[in-house]
Amino acid sequence: MQFLSFRGAVTAAAMMFVSLVGTAPSAAWAQAQAPAVQKAVVVATMANPAPTLVTTAPATSGSAWIAQGTVLDPNATTPTPAAPAQPAAPVGAIHADSLIQLVGDMPIPVDDAELAPDMKCLAQAVYFEARGEPMEGQLAVAEVVINRAKSDLYPDSYCDVIRQPAQFSFVRHGRIPQADESSDAWQRAVAIAEIAQQNLWQSKAADAMYFHATYVNPSWAHQKVELAQIDAHIFYR
């Protein structure tokens, strides 16, 4: 009886030990299994061979992880980084391959009353001095007015530059005549004035301060540097 009691005690102790050890995994087992629990699995099938966007959280230390935004190609052995997003074009930006295209794409006010006084004067100079000229010649006329207003030799507003005595042939006694504001020529002149004001396109005479028609030969022209002849006008600085 004593032998059986001793054996029974040993057996009971062994069963208690097994029960205690078997109910909880070891710390090493938990650490080894943690990455498998945290890491998402990406499966590529034949029915869906497209790259899959992976958004897994990092695994614990000691295991590899895939950053959010990485693209997995099922046919590749390593993840392919996603291409960086291209910056958006600025709102309202205008791109043109020619001055003609730029004039056509240029937004202009529907109502001429919305034009600032100086911009209307600039468009009038283009209209009356060069509406029959190529667009580059019209742009060069606008650039002359702008360059004068920026210099110290002339008034600092476009209207005052244009109204100066004996400077622009269409001005009579300081008055600018009324343009046909319903015409295509006027719409082009407004667009050209805006392009020149915003410096969106440069003519061959972008630095010009003076110009005259080819059928006249003013004495002052010999004292200036000729920049370009654009159709029926010669431009100087």
Annotation: CATH topology of 99-236: Arc Repressor Mutant, subunit A (1.10.10)
End-to-end CA distance of the chain: 128
Round to whole Å and give the CA distance between 135 and 40.
63
Q: If you average pLDDT over every residue of the chain, what do you get?
A: 74
Alpha carbon 7 to chain centroid distance?
88
Task: Give 10-59 pLDDT, tens digit per residue.
Answer: 444 445 443 444 444 433 333 333 344 343 333 343 444 444 443 434 44
Round to whole Å and give the CA distance between 147 and 205.
11
Domain ranges of the chain: 51-80, 99-236
pLDDT for residue 104: 94
Q: What's the whole-number mean pLDDT along residues 203-222? A: 96
How does residue 155 score in pLDDT terms, banded at 50, 70 and 90?
very high
> Do the Cβ atoms of 168 and 222 come closer than 8 Å?
no
Query: Model-level pTM?
Result: 0.61
Task: Give 179-194 pLDDT, tens digit per residue.
Answer: 999 999 999 999 999 9
How does residue 77 score in pLDDT terms, banded at 50, 70 and 90?
low
62 pLDDT above the threshold of 80: no
Position with higher pLDDT, 142 vs 6: 142
